[in-house]
Copies of this chain bind each other. A is one copy, B any other.
Amino acid sequence: PTTKMLIEGKKIADQILQEIKSEVAGMENYGVPGLATVLVGARPDSETYIRMKIQACANVGIKSFHVALPDTISEDALLEEVKKLNHDPQVHGILVQLPLPKHINEESILAAIQIEKDVDGFHPVNIGKLSMRGRDPLYTPCTPRGCIELLDRMHIPIEGKNAVVVGRSNIVGLPVAMLLLKRNATVQICHSKTENLPQCVKQADIVIAACGQARMIKGDWIKPGAAVIDVGTNSIPAPDTQRGYRLVGDVDFEEAKSVAGYITPVPGGCGPMTIAMLMRNCVDGAKRALGVPASASV
């Protein structure tokens, strides 16, 4: 059965943000959720992401605290900044924008974030609990959580289905694979050393593309009717446009859209969901910290 269906990530994300906004309004007697964003240096892409996150906070009623630091900052000084935020009771979530400059050890910085404030969910304890049966992390990484939320809101069944994840990074591929496993999918994890990628993808009812390779996954790799979640966000030259580039996914959308049962567009698919899930995580953390009873949630 190949109902062709576009997964409108932007629309779904907007709806979720709307839900979160009422939730934040409804908890005002307890306090205001606070998110700290930390940006080291001035990479234009990182600045864009941070701006979008701060804007989303403003839209839903989360107070944001932005810390901008020069890319010459030492690791120790950055650790101090993180510790200050750990102690700030107004801050319920801390997001350190990656990548960090090369002279700073990313692992040390991420591990210094207090587990209760690790809204990105990148701390090894969180990843460990995400992976383990019978354990639950305090936070689930945002992009992976967004992928699952898209499947759920489209009523795409996960349990017992064959899922293939192309990519195994700590922030996307690996955690999304672990989430699919917790939801009882049969999960295959592929990566740059995979020798028979087209055949692997072909068997999947659910494809998560997160390899950062523009349009690599072709239409004829996809099982007819499969659900395709394209996390990839790659900019390719587009001399005909004003900006000179445009964004494409890891899936060849034009080819895939006539084969897949469901597919996300790029842009407008996973990107907006990532931000919505960050807001979700931040409000969840704030509720725990402020002691908002579960019954007060929407």
Q: Write the residues of chain A forming the contact surface with B, with a CB cutoff of 8 angstroms.
A: 107, 123-129, 131-135, 159-162, 168-170, 174, 178, 181, 184, 186-191, 193-196, 200
Contact = CB atoms under 8 A, between A and B. Distances in A.
Contact of A186 (B123, B161, B194): B194
Given A133-B169, A133-B174, A135-B107, A160 B128 contact: no
A194 B160 contact: yes
A116 to B, nearest CB: 15
A252 B184 CA distance: 26
A129 B124 contact: yes
A138 to B, nearest CB: 11
Nearest to A133: B170
A263 to B, nearest CB: 23
Nearest to A192: B184
Contacts of A161: 195
Given A124-B125, A193-B159, A195-B160, A131 B178 contact: yes
Given A126-B128, A127-B131, A186 B195 contact: yes
A214 B162 CA distance: 25
Nearest to A178: B131
Given A128-B131, A131-B178, A168-B181, 18 more contacts: A107-B134, A124-B124, A124-B125, A124-B128, A125-B128, A127-B128, A127-B131, A133-B170, A134-B170, A135-B170, A161-B195, A181-B191, A184-B191, A184-B193, A186-B188, A186-B190, A187-B189, A189-B189
A80 to B, nearest CB: 23
B191 A189 contact: no
Contacts of A126: 128
Contacts of A132: 124, 127, 170, 174
A186 B186 contact: no
A184 B168 CA distance: 10
Contacts of A174: 131-133
A196 B203 CA distance: 11
A135 B105 CA distance: 12
17 contacts: A124-B125, A127-B128, A131-B131, A131-B178, A132-B174, A133-B168, A133-B170, A133-B174, A159-B193, A162-B196, A181-B189, A186-B188, A186-B189, A186-B190, A186-B196, A187-B189, A188-B189
